[in-house]
Amino acid sequence: MKSAERTIALLEYLIAGESPRSLREVTDDLAFPRARAYALLMTLMRMGWVEHDDTGSRFRLGIRALRAGASYVEHDDVVQRAQPVMNDLSDQLGETIHLARLDGHEIVYLATCLSRHSLAVVSRPGRRLPCWATGLGKAILAGRPWCEVDALLPKTLTARTEHTITDRDVLRDQLAEIGRRGNVVDEQESTRGLRCFAVPLDFGGPVNEALSCSIPTVRLDSAREKVIIEALSWARERIIH
C-alpha cells in the first residue's frame, strides 16, 4: 500500500509542477529515500508514465498520462452532455467557451471551444486555477453554504491580478449575490484584460461544474454582455435538461 501511495504522490507532484523536476527535488519535496525515488522513477519511465526532459536529467509526465487524461474527458458524462451545446454556443458567440469542474479549491478545465478571433484566451483541458479567482469557480461555490466554502478554501487567498478578491467577507457577500442572480461576471480577476461570464450547472445534487464564456474587454459593450449572459443561460438549460 505504501508503494502505491508513493506512486500516486509522485505522479501528482509532477502534475502540479510547472517545470520538469530533478531527482533531488523529488526526494527533498516528497521526503522519499533517494534510492526508492530513483527506482520508482525508473519503473514509471519504463511504463511510459514518466519521461526525461531534453536535458536528460529532469523528469516530467510521460505520454501515458496524456492518454489517461484524454480517456477521462472522453468518457465523462457531463462532458458528453455539454460538448454539443458548447459547440453551438461557440458558433453563436465566436468566443472561447469553457466547461470546468471543482476539485478541492481549484477548478479544472474539462472541455474548451476556442474563439475564432486572433485575440483570444486559450485554456486547455487539464489546466487548474484557484476557484475564488475565476468566474467558473464562483459559479460553483455560490450554490454552497458559506461554511462549506470557507472550509474548502485555503487559509490565504492569493491574488492572480490586482482585481482578485482575497478578502473572505467580500467574497462571501459576492457569492451570495451571485446565488441570487444566477450568473457570474469575473472582471479581470484571473487574467488582466479578460472578462469571464459563467453559469452553474445544477444536475440536482451539489453543484460541481460550470460553463463560461471568456472575452477580451476590448470587444465588450453592455449590449454584447447581455447577449452572452442570455446565451449562457440558454445553453445551461439545454445541458441540464
Count up the domains in the chain and report the number. 2
Are the beta carbons of 89 and 235 closer than 8 angstroms? yes
Mean pLDDT for the stretch of residues 212-230: 92
Helices (H), the chain: 2-16, 23-30, 34-47, 63-74, 77-93, 135-141, 146-152, 168-181, 222-240
Q: Do 82 and 59 share a structural domain?
A: no
Residue 38: pLDDT over 90: yes
Q: Do 57 and 99 share a structural domain?
A: no
**CATH code, 36:** 1.10.10.10
Q: Do 235 and 121 share a structural domain?
A: yes
For position 120, what pLDDT does the model report?
52
Work out whether the CA dihedral 76, 81, 87, 90 comes out positive or negative: negative
**Percentage above 70 pLDDT, the chain:** 97
Listed in sequence order, the residues at least 6 apart from 23 whose beta carbon sits closer than 8 Å to its beta carbon are 34, 37, 38, 41, 59
For position 116, what pLDDT does the model report?
79
For position 51, what pLDDT does the model report?
94
Q: Do 151 and 92 share a structural domain?
A: yes
Instruction: Please count the other Cβ atoms lying within 10 Å of the Cβ belonging to residue 91.
Output: 11
pLDDT digits (tens, 9 = 90+) for 98-130: 999 999 999 999 999 988 775 555 567 788 899
Q: Do 153 and 56 share a structural domain?
A: no
For position 15, what pLDDT does the model report?
84
Q: Which domain holds residue 165?
A: 76-240
Q: Do 180 and 130 share a structural domain?
A: yes
- Backbone torsions φ then ψ of 221, nearest 5 degrees: -145, 175
- Retrieve residue 19's grid coordinates: 517545470
**Band of residue 189 on the pLDDT scale cut at 50, 70, 90:** very high
Residue 182 corresponds to which amino acid?
Answer: G
**Band of residue 133 on the pLDDT scale cut at 50, 70, 90:** very high
Are the beta carbons of 6 and 40 closer than 8 angstroms? yes
Q: Do 121 and 16 share a structural domain?
A: no
Q: Do 156 and 106 share a structural domain?
A: yes
For position 127, what pLDDT does the model report?
85
Q: Do 207 and 145 share a structural domain?
A: yes
**CATH code, 193:** 3.30.450.40
